[in-house]
Amino acid sequence: MATIVDTASGKLEGGPGRLPGVVAFKGIPYAQPPVGKLRFRAPEPPLPWAGVRPALEYGKSAPQPEGAGTMPGIPFAEQDEDCLTLNVWTPAADDGKRPVMVWIHGGAYVTGAGSQKWYDGSLLAQRGDVVVVTINYRLGALGFLPLHRVGVEADANVGLVDQVAALRWVAANISAFGGDADNVTIFGESAGAMSIGTQLGVPASDGLFHRAILQSGTGVYVSDAERATRTAEHFLGEVGLTRADAHKVRDLPMAALVAATTRTQDALRKKLSRLPFQPEIDGDVLPAPPLDRVVGGASGDVDILVGTNLDEGNTFNLGDPTFRQLDDAGLVQRWEQSYPGQAQRLVDALRDARSARGDGVSPQDLGNSMFADVAFRQPAIELAAAHAAAAASATFMYLFTWPSPMLEGLLGSCHVVEIPFVFGSLTEPRAAMFVGDGPEARALATAVQDAWLSFARTGRPAAPTLPDWPTYDSGRRATMVLGAECRVEDDPQQAERLAWETVGQDARK
C-alpha cells in the first residue's frame, strides 16, 4: 500500500522499505538541479510540483570516476549533475516526532552516494524507531573546485552548502515523515565525517543539527587560499584553459570535468599532502578553520561522538608497490617532508611504542600506523579534546578494533570496516566478505547500533551489552573500544599520542 506525505514542494509517494514496518521515500529533490547557470553555484530551493510525485527509486549519483568505490556498490551507471536528492526511511509517516539520523557519505569528496547498498536505513529505522535520511551532494570539481580563486563567477564550497541545503530540507519537512526537526543527528564516515567536522564550523548550519557522529574523519583538513588557488589553477591546465578564459569551464561536458578531477587528484594529492578537492576557508561559508571555531565555542551545544578504526592506514597503502618495498631508511625519508629533521626521532619513538605492546614494527607496520595517526587518530583526539574543553554539551570517543577477514587478515581493522556494523548490513554479499559474519560479529553490530541509536535519542551512547560509556576529556581520555571484546580504556595508544605531541610540528602543513 502506498504512503503519501505532503512536503513544502508537493506530495510524495513512498513504498515498502527493505524490512517490514518501514516505509522508504527515495530520490527526493532537496534543491533544483545544479545545471546550466546553476553549475558551480550554491543550491537553490526545489521547485514545487503538482499531483503526487513517486519517490520509489533512488536519484542519480553525483558525477564521479568510473570504478571508484565499488566495494559499497555505488550504481555508477546512474550518474548525472541533477543529483541533489535524498532518501528517507521511517517506521511511519505520522506525528511520532522520532529522532532523525542524517547520513553524509564518504569517498574523499570525489566518490560516493546516499544510495549505496550499505547505507540502506531500514534496519536502523526499524530497530531504533528513528527516521533515517541519506543524502547526495556534489563531488570533485563540481562540488569543491574553488573557481572563485581564478576569477570565475562561482560560489565557494558548493558541495558543503549542498549539505546545508539538505539539512534545511530536513528541518522544514521531516515532521511529515514522523521525525523531530528538533532532534537531528548527523553521522558520516571518512569524507562524510570530515564534512561533519567542517559543518561544526559553518555558521549557516547552526541549529540544523543537535548531535554529530564522526566515523574516521574530522574537520581538520581544509584548504587555505594558497592551496585552493593551486588546485583551481592545476585543474584549468588539465582542461586546457587559462585564467583569461577560465569562465569556459562552465560549458565543458560532464565527462571532461570528471576526467580532469581524477587527473588533478592524482597529480596534487602528494604535492599538497592532502585532498585537492575539499572544503576551503573562504571567509563566508567557512570563515575560519573548523577546529579553531570549535575551540572558540562554535557548535558548543552539539553533542559529539568521534572515533577511528585501529588500522585505518592499511587500506590506503595496500595498493602502493613502492610502500611494500620500503626499508627503515625509506620510511624516514618519506616522513621528512612533513617532519624535516625530526622524522627519525618520530619513527624511533613509534617503533618503541609498538614494540612495547607486542605490535609489528616492520617499515610497513610503522608506515601504516603513522598514516592512520596523522590522517585520522590524532585529528580525532584534537577535536574531542577541543570540544570537551569548550562545549557545554557532551563528548564521547571510540576505537573500533574488529578486523576484516579479507586477505588473510592483512587489512586488520581498516578504513570503512565499521560501516556494515552501524547500518546492520552484514548480510550484504560484499559486506559479509569484507567484515565477516557469525555470532561475535552480529553481537558487535547490535551493540554498535544500540549505542548509535541511544546517542541519537538521548545524547549518550549506551547499549545493554556495553559497559558504561564515560564522557571524554583531556585528563582521563576515556575511550570505548569496540571489537570482539568491548571495554573502556583510558588514553589508548598513549605513547603514540605523546610522541606526536612531543614532535611539536603540524603534519598538515
Catalytic site residues? 190, 312, 415
Q: Is the dihedral of CA 263, 269, 271, 272 positive or negative?
A: positive
Torsion-angle region of 107 (φ positive above 0: left; ψ -120 to 50: alpha; else: beta): left
Contact 195, 104 (CB under 8 A): yes
Tell me the Cα Rg of the chain: 22
**Inter-CA distances, 493 with 360, 420, 477, 497, Å:** 14, 25, 11, 6
Q: Is the dihedral of CA 277, 279, 283, 289 positive or negative?
A: negative
**DSSP 8-class letter at 47:** P
What is the distance between the alpha carbons of residues 347 and 335, in angstroms, rounded to a whole number? 9
CA atoms within 13 A on the CB side of 68: 22
Count CB-CB contacts under 10 A for residue 39. 19
Residue 338 makes CB contacts below 8 A (sequence gap 6+) with: 273, 374, 505, 507, 509
What is the distance between the alpha carbons of residues 461 and 7, in angstroms, rounded to a whole number? 32
Count CB-CB contacts under 10 A for residue 356. 9
Angle among Cα 421, 366, 360 to the nearest 5 degrees reads: 75
Could you tell me the three cell numbers for 346?
Answer: 618520530
What is the distance between the alpha carbons of residues 382 and 474, in angstroms, rounded to a whole number? 9
